[in-house]
Structure 1
Amino acid sequence: MTHSLRPAGSLGSPGAFGSGRLSIALVSEHASPLAALGGVDAGGQNVHVACLAGALADRGHRVTVYTRRDARDLPEQVPLRDGVAVHHVPAGPPEQIPKDELLPHMGAFGRYLARTWRGRPPDLVHSHFWMSGLASLWATRELGLPLLHTYHALGTVKRRHQQLADPSPPQRIALETEVGFGCDRVIATCRDEVVELGRMGIPAIKAGIVPCGVDTELFTPRGPVAERGTQRYQLLQLGRLVPRKGAAVSIAALARLPETELVVVGGPPADRLDQDPEVRRLRALARAAGVADRVRFTGGVPSTDVPPLLRAADVVLCPADYEPFGIVPLEAMACGRPVVASAVGGQLDTVADPATGRLVPPRDPEALAAAVAELLADPAAREACGEAGRRRTLRRFGWGRVAAATEAAYCDVLETQPVATGAGVV
């Protein structure tokens, strides 16, 4: 499947297909839109797939999300909302398996997709994460269907930062490269990703940039506010509790920030926090830093509880070692809160320094503390950052805009497809 594609950042307009109703297959092998968030393998990708599917349905398309069946009692298909269904693919045992152990089951996943699509093919396939791309590539090659791919994270970046601690299969980077060359279009989420793809040998002409989005109706500056602690200031860190997210950096920075509490949101449910290895590690670090009484872990929370927690914070921290995109800065900005984030990955595109917050070097507690202290000392600056962040999310990152740009990428690819592929508009 080699076609003439527009260069990165030039996704075009919907064109001839823009007014048609497409049948779209989103493939997300480990990140189900139905999953509870906050676990080790449940985070931004789950949100992205669910929201993109809904926003595409709002534009009149029919969307089916294909994800692996990870429990015996899951039905084959579950309606998510009008125009969107989740299809559970039997590939491997019907139980939860860490995503880094799923590669042996991707052959079965791809064969199932090919069988399912042979009778009634979608107009196009959009895979999410490299293993979804691999399974989708096998199926779409067999059936001659157009394939677009979003990586969400790249193995080259993960290996560079985690080195021997990287649990990914050793074949990951080679297979990611195969997906990049084999698909019709890579939909990258930020400029840094396009640069990294170039290092892998995938030409920039194959990639267009469409950022992740945020629900600007759920995440708003106005609404309920979570109860605050007894300290004068409150910081919040939200996301999966894995070392690369940098909660240890936030705890070390807290030792330099008097009268300040850190609320850490994510991980297992509150009643299982004591058994979580990462929580135990972070609590030990907090004790060693003398701030254990100023660090509070909430555990994973329902998505509806997140906006009130964000609104309660004076500053939201996003100090990841690396971040392929990072949805939390968008959620914080949409709620009108200033963000201090590490200057890595997608955060370089989302956080505007100094307009919406501050960007600091990763793994640098002193720099993080200094940026936070500057904002805590200046209420007017915090308010200005929050207002600018809200405007920025409305202008660039609402799901309606993201879905329109994604649809434009779909149409660019469909317009290059030979008629013999059978891809078209219903």
Structure 2
Amino acid sequence: MTIHDKTSNNAAEIPCDNKRFNIVMVDSHGSVERGGAVQCASLARALARRGHRVTCIFDGEPDQPMEGVWFQSLQNAGVRIRRLGLQSLAGMMQLRRLMAEEHPDVLHTHKNRALFCAYFATLGMRRPVWAANRGTVYPLSQSRLAYFIHRRHVARIFAVADAVRDALVADGIAGEKVEVVYGSFDPDRFRPEVSGAGMRRAWQLPEGVPVVGLIGSLNTPKKGQPVLLEAAALLKDRYPELRFVLVGEGDSGALQTMATSLGVSDRVVFAGFTEDVPAALAAIDIVVCASLRGEGLTGALREALAMARPVISSDVAGNRELVIDNSTGLLVPPGDPPALADAISRMLRDAELAQGCAARGRELVLELCTEEKRAARAEGIYRELLLS
């Protein structure tokens, strides 16, 4: 595969006219910190910047504050933001009233909580064009209600990777209903010029030491942090200066105990959660994804490639669509610490490989995954549905 094989996602192919849409997005999260919530907010913001009227609804009590950089960014872009209790009858009735008042052209839901709320809120109503995001390769049919709604009422499923599309089709979803729309990044934030020096100082790392890092929630076992710790133990004699950083929210107690038992506690930094992901990536020399299962396409990989960082990923789900082995990064089997250790060693020893992968990886995600290109692709799909 070359980096030009995926031209179907190129925004230049989407026909454009002056029609502006009224779009209601419903997200299953109550905060915008990572994963699907960030991707919903990113798309909403980019569509608003293209001139569309966008309302973004998040879970929670209506009077609950909406604080943080993403909520402010949405408001700055002209996105109207609201909270509704997506699992409550009151929240469903509020969404029903909003839909009746707004008469949106497009309803776009993100994850099942939003999907179910939108379904029950609009029973008996004339629904707008309905698009739904799908970000995992787990069988959709594991939820009978979600499967029914996607098959009978959703007009298009936005799959975040070819692997997700393939999983949906294998699960009985008609292929023509599924579009691959990669997640996006903001090229103004995620760029190689960002400095990681301040983050390294915050992590109290010795100056000049090589750093391997993994960005992912510690609350999610599938992110595979123990695999990286075992790889660190295998590398400790070969690379005594090498340091490892785990970035992400959650209780690190069990992982710290594991690091101690492996004899690497002095080489591992548990950095906690940070909103300044670009600076964290800039501070890391090699970015690792050690996910074990269930991923659609790991967002930290897309952002690391945008920063021109060398990446190593477990070969799960759609990760191989951006991490092309020996071209834009290295792939290893999931749950295989020796293979991960060997890949890290190879990247450390071969500067030409690391630099080449980083450069080609950035080129690929600039081609496929910028916010503007994702918004243009979504806009084109909405337009196609509205004209059909």
Fold match by TM threshold 0.5: yes
Q: Report the CA distance between 1:58 and its aligned residue.
A: 1.6
Pair 1:412 & 2:381 matched = no
Change (3 A) 1:154 1:139: farther
Residue 139 of structure 2: which of 156, 159, 165 is its match?
156
Deviations 1:46-83 (A, max 9, x none): 210111111111211111111112585437x9862232
Residues 357 and 400 of structure 1: CA distance in aligned 2, closer, same or farther (over 3 Å): same
Q: How do 1:61-100 and structure 2 match up within 5 A?
A: 61-70=52-61, 72-74=63-65, 80-91=75-86
Answering whether residue 57 of structure 2 is matched by residue 58 of structure 1, we say no
Q: 1:155 to 1:291 in 2, by over 3 A?
A: same
Instruction: Compute the displacement of 1:154 (Å).
Output: 5.3
In structure 2, the residue matched to 1:254 is 232
Aligned residues of 1:236 and 1:263 also touching (Cα < 8 A): yes
Deviations 1:308-360 (A, max 9, x none): 22122221001101212211001111111011001112212121211121011
User: Could you tell me how far apart the structure 1 residues matched to 2:11 and 2:302 are?
Assistant: 22
Q: Return the structure number with greater relative CO, CA threshold 8 A, min gap 6.
A: 1
Find the residue that maps to 2:190 and give its secondary structure: coil
Q: How does 1:25-424 map to 2 (within 5 A)?
A: 25-32=24-31, 35=32, 37=33, 43-70=34-61, 72-74=63-65, 80-91=75-86, 105=87, 108-141=90-123, 142-153=125-136, 155-156=138-139, 173-181=143-151, 182-225=153-196, 226-227=199-200, 229-230=205-206, 232-241=209-218, 242-257=220-235, 258-259=239-240, 260-268=242-250, 276=251, 279-302=252-275, 305-322=276-293, 323-416=295-388
Decide whether the 8 Å contact of 1:12 with 1:412 is kept in 2: no
- Compute the displacement of 1:13 (Å): 5.8
Amino acid at match of 1:144: R
Distance across 1 between alignment mates of 2:116 and 2:231 = 41
Distance 1:31 1:194 in 2: 27
Equivalent position SS for 2:291: coil
Instruction: Provide the residue aligned with 2:3 in structure 1.
Output: none
* Whole-angstrom distance in 1 between the partners of 2:10 and 2:159: 12
Q: Which residue of structure 2 lines up, in the alignment, with residue 272 of structure 1?
A: none
Greater CA drift, 64-73 or 309-318: 64-73
| Alignment partner, residue 421 of structure 1 | none
Give the Cα–Cα distance (whole angstroms) in 1 for the partners of residues 378 and 328 of structure 2.
Answer: 26
Contact 2:155–2:177 (CA<8 Å) still a contact in 1?
yes
Q: Which runs of 5+ in 1 are unaligned?
A: 1-7, 38-42, 92-104, 158-170, 269-275, 417-426
Q: Distance in 1 between matches of 2:258 and 2:24?
A: 44
Q: Post-superposition shift, 1:152?
A: 2.3
What CA distance in whole angstroms lies between the structure 2 residues aligned with 1:151 and 1:381? Answer: 34
Query: Match for 1:85: what amino acid?
Result: R
1:25–1:124: 8 Å Cα contact kept in structure 2? Answer: yes
Unpaired stretches in structure 2, ≥5 consecutive residues: 1-7
User: Could you tell me the TM-score, scaled by structure 2's length?
Assistant: 0.87
State the 1:139 CA deviation: 3.5
Contact 1:140–1:146, Cα closer than 8 Å, also in 2: no
CA apart distance, 1:106 = 5.6
| Contact kept in structure 1, 2:322 and 2:361, CA below 8 Å | no
Cα distance between partner residues in 2 of 1:18 and 1:29: 31
**Percent of paired sites with the same residue:** 30
Partner of 1:97: none
3-state DSSP of counterpart to 2:23: strand
Query: What SS is found at the alignment partner of 1:252?
Result: helix
Task: Select between 316-325 and 147-156 the one with higher mean Cα deviation.
Answer: 147-156
Is the 1:118–1:143 Cα contact (8 Å) retained in structure 2? no
Contact persistence 1:147–1:183 (CA under 8 A):
yes
CA contact (8 A) 1:140 1:147 kept: no
Quick one: which amino acid aligns to residue 353 of structure 1? Answer: D
Q: Secondary structure at the match of 2:200?
A: coil
Q: Distance in 2 between matches of 1:415 and 1:14?
A: 14
